[in-house]
């Protein structure tokens, strides 16, 4: 195995584990405080962005040159707002409305959306394995939402909408920043993406106050907030950085440990309970991503063409 591929595997497995852990941690924070999704994200994105960019600056990396190239910073702003902020807000709101496992599973539908996008972009029908994956994903979503009973839908309409937006956001921040990362590096793009996304959300949320928010936190909840910011930042850097060494679909496949980690923690730590059919739905979604990786050679070529 090439060393570059080993690095990619380590990055995505570590990043997926951290992201799987962060979901239940965020859910715990919402249960123990009165923070809204917007309040939490303003702090998380701005703090993480400043920390990461400051580290790069003191490490003598040029973090400002990208702003001298209009075509590049325009793409950076698009990624920051639609990718970084859009995906995280949809994910966090899904956690807030439902739970961490549901949000993680909806996010995991992202590879299916990538498959559909690639098929449309190349004007080519998906392979037989990809059709199986699509069917498994649809079955998974059905069971996740209904728990096997159409008359008694488990998830609210709002949770379903934000869950869908989470999957779309996953697709966007997987595909869009690839060219930017190749030119400027993972850390710079993620750092600016977080800072810009946080500033945009802060401006869109004029009632937010750092002092009021921090004043409402206890030692334990503030410590958890700091821990989430650190783990979330590292997970994003590792996930997006792995795209240098692995294809988008390979990365999506290897991130399959996210829902497993989130589910185990939610059940053992947060005492969450899930219906049998909901767990079955989660398994179908993971199986869908596994099937997506079967036509590996074809998928990797397509991913290179996109980026």
Tens of pLDDT, residues 128-170: 888 888 888 889 888 888 888 877 678 889 999 999 999 999 8
Report pLDDT for 253: 66
Report pLDDT for 1: 58
Report pLDDT for 306: 38
Containing structural domain, residue 201: 3-306
First to last CA, the chain: 24
Report pLDDT for 294: 58
Report pLDDT for 219: 93
Are the C-beta atoms of residues 27 and 270 closer than 8 Å to each other?
yes
pTM: 0.81
Report pLDDT for 254: 74
Structure-token pair, residue 182: 């190749």
Q: Identify the segments of the chain with pLDDT beneath 50.
A: 295-307
Report pLDDT for 296: 47
Domain count, the chain: 1
Cα separations (Å) of 280 from 64, 144, 146, 253? 48, 8, 11, 18
Distance (Å, rounded) from C-alpha 155 to C-alpha 210? 32
């Amino acid at each position: 195995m090439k060393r570059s591929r080993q690095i990619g595997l380590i990055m995505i497995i570590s990043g997926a584990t951290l992201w799987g852990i962060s979901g239940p941690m965020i859910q715990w924070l919402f249960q123990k405080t009165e923070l809204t999704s917007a309040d939490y994200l303003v702090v998380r994105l701005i703090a993480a962005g400043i920390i990461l960019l400051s580290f790069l600056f003191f490490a003598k990396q040029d973090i400002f040159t990208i702003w001298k190239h209009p075509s590049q910073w325009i793409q950076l702003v698009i990624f920051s707002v639609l990718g970084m902020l859009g995906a995280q807000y949809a994910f966090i709101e899904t956690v807030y409305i439902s739970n961490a496992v549901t949000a993680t599973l909806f996010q995991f539908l992202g590879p299916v959306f990538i498959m559909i996008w690639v098929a449309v972009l190349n004007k080519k029908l998906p392979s037989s394995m990809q059709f199986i994956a699509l069917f498994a994903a649809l079955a998974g979503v059905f069971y996740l939402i209904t728990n096997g009973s159409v008359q008694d839908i488990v998830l609210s309409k709002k949770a379903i909408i934000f869950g869908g937006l989470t999957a779309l956001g996953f697709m966007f921040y997987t595909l869009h920043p690839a060219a930017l990362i190749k030119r400027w590096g993972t850390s710079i793009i993620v750092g600016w993406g977080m800072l810009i996304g946080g500033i945009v959300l802060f401006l869109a949320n004029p009632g937010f106050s750092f002092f009021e928010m921090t004043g409402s936190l206890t030692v334990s909840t503030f410590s958890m907030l700091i821990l989430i910011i650190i783990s979330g930042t590292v997970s994003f850097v590792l996930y997006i950085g792995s795209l240098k060494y692995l294809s988008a679909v390979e990365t999506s496949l290897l991130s399959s440990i996210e829902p497993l980690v989130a589910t185990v923690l939610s059940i053992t730590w947060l005492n969450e309970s899930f219906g049998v059919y909901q767990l079955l739905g989660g398994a179908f979604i993971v199986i869908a991503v596994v099937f997506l990786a079967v036509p590996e050679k074809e998928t990797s070529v397509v991913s290179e063409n996109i980026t």
